[in-house]
Structure 1
Amino acid sequence: MSSSIEARLPTGASRSSPGRTHEVTNQPPPLVGHDASADPALLTALVREGAGWHTDALRRLGRLAGTEQARRWAEEADRFPPELRTHDRYGNRVDEVDFHPSWHALLEVAVREGLTGAPWRDPRPGAHVARAANILVWGTVEQGHLCPVSMTYAVVPALRAAPDLAARYEPLLASRIYDPGLRPPEGKAGLLAGMGMTEKQGGSDVRANTTTATPAADGTYRLRGHKWFTSAPMNDVFLVLAQAPGGLSCFWVPRVLPDGSRNTFRIQRLKDKLGNRSNASSEPEFDDTVAWLVGAEGRGVRVIIEMVAMTRLDASLGSAAGMRAAVTAAAHHVRHRRAFGTRLIDAPLMRNVLADLALESEAATTLVLRVAGAVDRAARGDRDEQAFKRLATAVAKYWVCKRAPGVAAEALECLGGNGYVEESGMPRLYREAPLNGIWEGSGNVNALDVLRALDREPDGLDALSRQIEAARGADARLDRAWDRLRAQLPKAAADPFAARRVVERLALVMQGSLLVRHAPPAVADAFCASRLAGDGGLAFGTLPSGVDVAGILDRIASVDTPTDSVGDIRHGQDDGRISL
């Protein structure tokens, strides 16, 4: 029978011919072996905002972020989500959450590189900017593990409302040693912190909380109640809001008490979330839970808002990092993929799409690092920057987080069907993208917060106005947009219905002023044309004809770009080794 089949085969064919259908052609190589910090917008802003001394360390982290190992950690942490163990084999309540080893590997790097608290341990000028740049780079790998990272960083200024607690625990919160496992906090080499604010009936309206705090004879309090969305429940300590006799107050709640016994922190269940799947988010219940007061009774919101302000900055950084990852993946694909006889990167409409995405990413990166610079200078007593920070943080949080889902979706589409499969990593970016717009205050909460700041804190608007006016005369489109917006701002607080529109325009003018002053003409011109002059559409890929697309695309580094030749930045040398 085999002979008769062979007789019917075409000339030159053989039984091995079908194997040729599995030869892989016209597919991009793996996106590994690159430097995730190779971004001129990021590197120049790092220097401009006062952290040029961090350049070499950032490049080292960028090379680690571009490795196959880092990519594998991210994939495994997402594919094998945390699991809740409420009891041990003997029936004892333990309330522990087990994570995949890749989660711990990601966190170990983050803590070691100072993402959890380096600015508090080494508050040199630019320290908060350096940390923000690290988030923008390491956040391109995986973002679920950045939740405990962010809360640990943000808890320090809030905890300082209780000087005795801060003196004991701040050095451990700022440690560069990752020390997982539930043990007495003061016996560990490093701590991770979380927060418990929202409840079923209130959500963002924390004054509707019903968890109670009863004073005890030993000076502590006893909490009883529940929380609806408390992430990273395996962290060591938490700031928790509860109703004390004097009103809503803030409390320090350790998972393990000084004597080694478990504090009551019953995890009812873990949330089954759209994205952020590597990170555990839980519903804890308190019942006679020991807690220490932070600040005065009745001042809980004022205390914890210090933590929320810092996590809002991190939400903006996380969204900007997601944009950077999405644009890098899209650019890598279209540089190597061919269709209809040409490389996708050479197709005019694809160039428009990719340039538009790159423009959005650069504007986001520039804005969030400017806010980080304000945080840094405010921490060193600059009152003008303190006023600017208050307003700019909320504006950036609203706008950058709003733009992230659209960037992720469009970048995914650049990969076509390849982008819709899990192996590409794009679905994980897409699922993650809406999260930062919800956490630490939804879009409406942040937009209304901006209106309150405009109404009650005129110093903030004055400081922001000076920043925008510094670009006066550089681009007529920016000047016109700012003049129109400035005329509306005095009445903005009286019209909450229009809050989102006002904050959107404020964000765009802020970004435009920064790009006009600091970005190349190709970037600034395209931004002002498409975002401020109305000469652009609602979808990405609608840049007007005549903009310098090549000048924008040249700023997207590729795997083939030498890591020491990005823009005009000059870097020191090291031995290039990357290890854990």
Structure 2
Amino acid sequence: MAGTTHEVTNQAPPLVGYDVFGADQVLTEAVERHLAPELLDPVLAELGELGRAAGSAQVQEWAAQANENPPRLRTHDRTGVRIDEVDFHPAWHRLLGKGVGAGLTSAWNRPGGHVRRAAAFVVWTQAEAGNCCPLSMTHAAVPVLRADAELAAAWEPLLTSPVYDRELRPAPLKAGALFGMALTEKQGGSDVRANTTRARPLAEAGAYELTGHKWFCSAPMSDGFLVLALAPGGLTCFLVPRVLPDGTRNVFLLQRLKDKLGNRSNASAEVEFDGTWARRVGEEGRGVRTVIDMVAATRLDCVLGSAGLMRQAVALAVHHCAHREAFGARLVDQPLMRNVLADLAIESEAATALALRLAAAYDDGGERERALLRLAVPVAKYWVTKRCPAVAVEAAECLGGNGYVEESGLPRLVRESPLNSVWEGAGNVQALDVVRALRREPAALDAYLREVGQARGADRRLDGAIRELLTELADLDGVEGRARRLAERLALVLQGALLVRFAPPEVADAFCAGRLGGDGGAVFGTLPSTLDLASVVARARPPL
């Protein structure tokens, strides 16, 4: 009979129909650790609802559709009128609407807002990472607009609204708005001071006319954009609305969409300004200083996004190995595979613990916490985003050939995994920013040392790593050439301190052995076999 040789056995069931938040012990514990007790019940319920949505078959299907049907540029309508619009698959709008409704743009005005949003960002990244880009920039635009009380009053209620309004209309007529940004140019990249886009003052107070070309414009269908351009007084920050108050389209010429390695559901464009109306934000000549709060917030989102991608990759790998058998035993019970899975799990846990700690510093807002963020954000951005591609690739290998097939979900994670390291300043930019913070802001290093000092005496390997770090920090002459090494050591010590304080002993023991004690190799799966790796893996397993 046809098909009798095709009995399907020894395959893992799909990882679907589960609570992405509730299944993540590391994330739930971090939320409980950093939120005030009176907030816990409503926030846990809120995150559980989002987690169940993220793990549902419906949302997983939307994510696949949004990536299989990437955005398309329409420069003109059928009559030849220039419209400069981007068409998205309906699944994109459903995902983005769910993210807006879940509070991913409204951290600034809620108690515990940054921790609860950070947890939601980690969860929603696991649903579909591309739509998190406009969510991130909209969130991060709020502190920049607060530099101008009039702009903040007009725009902040729209940016923090739980309503996703996709129509292009004047801002006062909208129920909610999204923001993008266009900072970099083809000749400068991260060196925004090399920008050549010009801003000519107009008669209207605070209004300018922009002329120039931006190499990367993120989320080009947003309602407003933060843009850097050269005004008479120097490099300045501007708000460019997509639609002008009278209902006409601003001059916003989309030249092409970028054909990207990953993040394919999301549009990134080159845009031309040719007499484009803009409103100044902050003082002339203070553009970098004005926009820096947005950059810092989006850099933290790079850490959160990478933590989410790592968690998803580890969950898929552990889930597969818990169901797959080879050579007479489940993969998860075989010593070498267990070592690999445990190594991946502690990398994921360290990333999540660090990301949520930084979100809690935003909520605190005190002087010492702000100083900690000045150093710890570029440290975390450098290290966590660098570790993400390695985790994604190793997790895919845990599935063998299945992990190389699109249906497994791992190839999309692998393509997505390098993005956060490149976006908002690549590795060298972050490492040099760490050096600047160390040289110019002694309070930042003091706050960092106070943070890691809370774990001293709990683990000899961590204590030894702290001593070595202090020796390295004592001499910053010629540090630029070793800035990456220094950023790495700062990140590992901070992660180790957090895990020693808050993680189960078996997790902290494995991290300190493999990352601080020199008892681990250059690839995953090289932890000492004497550790309690089974408990580490069990902690990371989704409960299906």
After TM superposition, the score normalised by the length of structure 2 is 0.98
SS of 1:472's partner is: coil
Q: Confirm whether residue 84 of structure 1 aligns to residue 76 of structure 2.
A: no
Distance 1:103 1:544 in 2: 44
Instruction: Provide Cα deviations, 1:71-126, integer angstroms capped at 9, x if missing partner.
Output: 1011110000000000000000000000001101110110000001x22232x1x2
1:49 to 34, 40, 50: 34
Instruction: Provide Cα deviations, 1:382-413, integer angstroms capped at 9, x if missing partner.
Output: 11101011111111111100000000000000
2:509 to 521, 525, 539: 525
Which residues of structure 1 form unaligned runs of 5+?
A: 1-15, 561-580
Q: Percent identity?
A: 62
Deviates more, 1:369-378 or 1:272-281: 369-378
Partner in structure 1 of residue 55 of structure 2:
66
Q: Confirm whether residue 300 of structure 1 aligns to residue 287 of structure 2.
A: yes
Q: Is the 8 A contact 2:339 2:529 kept in 1?
A: no
2:124 to 138, 152, 163: 138
Distance 1:74 1:203 in 2: 30
Q: Give 1:226-265 correspondences, 5 Å limit.
A: 226-265=213-252
Instruction: Tell me how far 1:537 sits from its aligned partner.
Output: 0.3
Instruction: Tell me how far 1:164 sits from its aligned partner.
Output: 0.7
Partner in structure 2 of residue 315 of structure 1:
302
Partner in structure 2 of residue 479 of structure 1:
463
Distance 1:21 1:349 in 2: 32
Letter aligned with residue 316 of structure 2:
A
SS of 1:182's partner is: coil
2:435 to 451, 454, 466: 451
Q: Is the 8 A contact 2:350 2:499 kept in 1?
A: yes
Distance 1:99 1:170 in 2: 26
Distance 2:410 2:167 in 1: 32
1:330 to 317, 324, 328: 317
Q: Is the 8 A contact 2:76 2:83 kept in 1?
A: yes
Partner in structure 1 of residue 109 of structure 2:
121
Instruction: Tell me how far 1:208 sits from its aligned partner.
Output: 0.4
Distance 1:465 1:524 in 2: 19
Distance 1:188 1:32 in 2: 35
Partner in structure 1 of residue 480 of structure 2:
496
Letter aligned with residue 526 of structure 1:
A
Instruction: Tell me how far 1:127 sits from its aligned partner.
Output: 1.2
1:353 to 340, 355, 363: 340
Instruction: Tell me how far 1:50 sits from its aligned partner.
Output: 1.7
Instruction: Tell me how far 1:543 sits from its aligned partner.
Output: 0.6
Distance 1:303 1:519 in 2: 38
Distance 2:375 2:163 in 1: 34
Distance 1:461 1:56 in 2: 37
Distance 1:154 1:129 in 2: 15
After TM superposition, the score normalised by the length of structure 1 is 0.92
Letter aligned with residue 39 of structure 1:
D
Distance 1:422 1:235 in 2: 30
Q: Is the 8 A contact 2:62 2:95 kept in 1?
A: yes
Over aligned residues, Cα RMSD in angstroms?
0.9
Distance 1:540 1:213 in 2: 51
Partner in structure 2 of residue 576 of structure 1:
none
Letter aligned with residue 178 of structure 2:
L
Distance 1:433 1:20 in 2: 41
Instruction: Provide Cα deviations, 1:12-32, integer angstroms capped at 9, x if missing partner.
Output: xxxx1x412222111111110
Distance 2:300 2:78 in 1: 42
Q: Give 1:365-384 correspondences, 5 Å limit.
A: 365-378=352-365, 382-384=366-368
Q: Is the 8 A contact 1:194 1:235 kept in 2?
A: yes
Instruction: Tell me how far 1:162 sits from its aligned partner.
Output: 1.3
Distance 1:84 1:493 in 2: 50
Partner in structure 2 of residue 217 of structure 1:
203
Partner in structure 1 of residue 350 of structure 2:
363
Letter aligned with residue 47 of structure 1:
E
Divergent runs of 4+, >4 A: none
Q: Is the 8 A contact 1:492 1:499 kept in 2?
A: no
Distance 2:452 2:359 in 1: 17
Q: Is the 8 A contact 1:132 1:317 kept in 2?
A: yes
Instruction: Provide Cα deviations, 1:399-441, integer angstroms capped at 9, x if missing partner.
Output: 1000000000000000111110111111000000000000000
Q: Confirm whether residue 182 of structure 1 aligns to residue 168 of structure 2.
A: yes
Instruction: Provide Cα deviations, 1:447-490, integer angstroms capped at 9, x if missing partner.
Output: 10001001100001001101111011000110010011011113
Letter aligned with residue 363 of structure 2:
D
1:155 to 141, 146, 157: 141
Instruction: Tell me how far 1:214 sits from its aligned partner.
Output: 0.2
Greater gyration radius: 1
Partner in structure 1 of residue 193 of structure 2:
207
Instruction: Provide Cα deviations, 1:505-538, integer angstroms capped at 9, x if missing partner.
Output: 1100000000000011000001000000110001
Partner in structure 1 of residue 273 of structure 2:
286
Partner in structure 1 of residue 263 of structure 2:
276
Instruction: Provide Cα deviations, 1:365-395, integer angstroms capped at 9, x if missing partner.
Output: 00000011111111xxx11101011111111
Q: Is the 8 A contact 1:452 1:493 kept in 2?
A: no
